[in-house]
């Protein structure tokens, strides 16, 4: 036997259903409590007051339902009056028109509070009068209503079979909802039915759906609990590293996707709450990104004004870990790259110039002021030769031309061929005269010059300079 405490709980559930907009279910709970209080004898005052409040709420929603549906019912009554005042030429068409109005009336009763007695009596009297001109068609339509009732019984039976088949292991809510929607679409096809069958069919239809609706609510509640648990986990994230917080949130978001549906209304509310719980991480991330963007802009400004070096800027942007795909980061990266290319070009030009100027530095005995690498300067003879060794100079020149893939003079063809054979042999036999690089060949060339150089030496150096431009 139900205690007053149980009834209090049911009334609380009814109030929650009213608040959620599930009016029919709430009203059913209120009616159940009203029925159960009859067996209690003396009802506690607190329970009586709570029940009276729930009954008032139920009546209020009935009145609201009537307020919305009654104007539509008046429209149906006026449509019937028009048919009576101006009957159609075809009894069959008139019967179909009346049939359609009756079907709409019955569907309105299904979706809202039933019509009042006065409204129903008025509609019934007028409908019977409108039927009089098509009495010959009445029997045929009556048969249609009987067949509709049979079809609706078939739908109820199919729902009961579905329940019996699946109640031990219910499918996911989305499939249950899909089944109910399809059943309702079928149900609507078979209207109207005879008045004597309408209420019984409607009651049986709702009773057959109840186990499915209960299963949907039960499964959705499990999902609600799971999603509320995930929200609590998000709220508990408190790592010092904000990126770790965001990673943990994304992991929980992947879990969220696997939980299933908690019902459309619940899902939207829970999802909003879930995301809002993580706003603090993304706000902090946004603030960090803004700071790094400002830092990147300042670095670029300082780099352009030469307040900092390329190396300093390159090291500084390594710390900008959150904006590597932003236009600000790409701008400074591109500028650093262009400055490095510019720097490398200048260095190359300076190197080429210092190599080409080596001959003049040698002649003027001014090697110390030449920007040549010390590795070259240290290999140069301290005491120049009395006479240049032209053959060795030619050798160095032609070998440099070979390395630079420049053409040599026709008269040097034989020596060029000999040098190329030497280079090929050296490559395969791993033997070398240590004259295979630009630096070694330049040192070799200078070390075979005399202080007093002539036209031949200058002509060969001019050819060497072209090779330097390529090889340096």
pLDDT, tens digit, 9 for 90 and up, residues 115-134:
677 778 888 888 888 877 77
**Does a structural domain hold residue 190?**
no
> Which one has a higher pLDDT value, 8 or 190?
190
SS (HEC) of 364-390: CCCHHHCCCCHHHHCCCCCCCECCCCH
CB burial of residue 414 (10 Å; 0-12, 13-18, 19+) = exposed
CA gyration radius, the chain: 49
**Does a structural domain hold residue 292?**
yes
Residues 383 and 405 in one domain: yes
**Does a structural domain hold residue 331?**
yes
**Does a structural domain hold residue 101?**
no
Q: What is the pTM of this model?
A: 0.43
pLDDT at 67 over 60: no
Residue 467, phi then psi, degrees to nearest 5: -65, -40
Helix (H) or strand (E) holding 437: none
Residues 362 and 459 in one domain: yes
Is residue 182 very low, low, confident or very high in pLDDT (cuts 50, 70, 90)? very high
Residues 458 and 375 in one domain: yes
| Residue-wise pLDDT tens digits, 184-202 | 999 998 988 888 888 999 9
Q: Are 1 and 39 in contact (CB under 8 A)?
A: yes
**Does a structural domain hold residue 121?**
no
Residue-level pLDDT at 65: 54
Is residue 357 very low, low, confident or very high in pLDDT (cuts 50, 70, 90)? confident
Residue 278: how many CB atoms within 10 A of its CB?
Answer: 20
Enclosing domain of residue 29: 1-68
Residues 290 and 268 in one domain: no
Which residue, of 277, 302, 337, is where some domain finishes?
277
Residue 441: how many CB atoms within 10 A of its CB?
Answer: 22
Residues 333 and 266 in one domain: no
**Does a structural domain hold residue 94?**
no
How far is it, in rounded angstroms, from Cα 14 to Cα 29?
6
Which residue, of 252, 277, 302, is where some domain finishes?
277
pLDDT at 62 over 70: no
Residues 342 and 362 in one domain: no
**Does a structural domain hold residue 216?**
no
**Does a structural domain hold residue 324?**
yes
**Count of the separate structural domains present in the chain:** 4
| Residue-wise pLDDT tens digits, 18-52 | 677 676 677 687 788 777 777 666 777 777 777 77
Q: Are 320 and 306 in contact (CB under 8 A)?
A: no
Residue 159: how many CB atoms within 10 A of its CB?
Answer: 22
Residues 361 and 466 in one domain: yes
Residues 301 and 380 in one domain: no
Which residue, of 293, 313, 346, is where some domain finishes?
346
């Amino acid at each position: 036997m139900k205690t007053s405490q149980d009834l209090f709980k049911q009334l609380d559930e009814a109030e929650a259903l009213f608040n959620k907009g599930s009016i029919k279910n709430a009203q059913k709970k209120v009616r159940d409590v009203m029925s159960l209080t009859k067996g209690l004898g003396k009802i506690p005052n607190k329970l009586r007051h709570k029940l009276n409040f729930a009954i008032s709420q139920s009546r209020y929603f009935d009145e609201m339902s009537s307020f919305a549906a009654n104007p539509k019912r008046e429209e149906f009554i006026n449509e019937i009056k028009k048919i009576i005042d101006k009957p159609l030429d075809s009894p069959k068409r008139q019967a179909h028109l009346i049939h359609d109005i009756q079907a709409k009336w019955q569907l309105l009763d299904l979706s809202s509070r039933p019509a009042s007695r006065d409204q129903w009596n008025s509609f019934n009297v007028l409908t019977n009068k409108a039927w009089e001109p098509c009495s010959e068609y009445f029997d045929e339509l009556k048969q249609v209503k009987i067949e509709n009732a049979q079809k609706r019984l078939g739908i109820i039976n199919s729902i009961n079979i579905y329940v019996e088949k699946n109640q031990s292991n219910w499918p996911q809510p989305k499939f249950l909802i899909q089944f109910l929607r399809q059943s309702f679409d079928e149900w609507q096809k078979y209207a109207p039915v005879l008045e004597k069958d309408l209420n019984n069919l409607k009651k049986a239809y709702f009773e057959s759906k109840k186990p499915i609706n209960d299963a949907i609510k039960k499964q959705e509640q499990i999902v609600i609990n799971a999603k509320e648990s995930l929200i609590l986990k998000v709220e508990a994230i408190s790592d010092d590293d904000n990126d770790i917080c965001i990673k943990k949130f994304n992991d929980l978001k992947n879990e969220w996707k696997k939980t299933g549906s908690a019902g459309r209304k619940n899902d939207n509310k829970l999802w909003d709450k879930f995301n809002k719980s993580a706003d603090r991480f993304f706000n902090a991330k946004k603030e960090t990104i803004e700071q790094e963007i400002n830092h990147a802009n300042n670095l670029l400004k300082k780099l352009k004004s030469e307040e900092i070096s390329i190396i300093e800027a390159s090291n500084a942007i390594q710390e900008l870990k959150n904006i590597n795909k932003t236009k600000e980061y790409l701008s400074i990266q591109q500028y650093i790259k262009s400055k490095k290319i510019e720097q490398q070009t200048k260095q190359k030009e300076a190197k080429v110039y210092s190599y080409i100027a080596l001959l003049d530095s040698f002649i003027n005995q001014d090697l110390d002021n030449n920007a040549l690498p010390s590795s070259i300067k240290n290999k140069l003879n301290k005491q120049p030769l009395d006479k240049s060794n032209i053959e060795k100079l030619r050798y160095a020149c032609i070998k440099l031309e070979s390395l630079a893939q420049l053409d040599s003079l026709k008269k040097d063809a034989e020596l060029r061929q000999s040098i190329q054979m030497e280079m090929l042999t050296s490559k395969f036999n791993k033997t070398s005269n240590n004259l295979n690089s630009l630096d070694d060949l330049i040192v070799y060339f200078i070390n075979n010059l005399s202080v007093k150089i002539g036209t031949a030496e200058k002509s060969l150096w001019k050819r060497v300079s072209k090779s330097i431009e390529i090889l340096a």
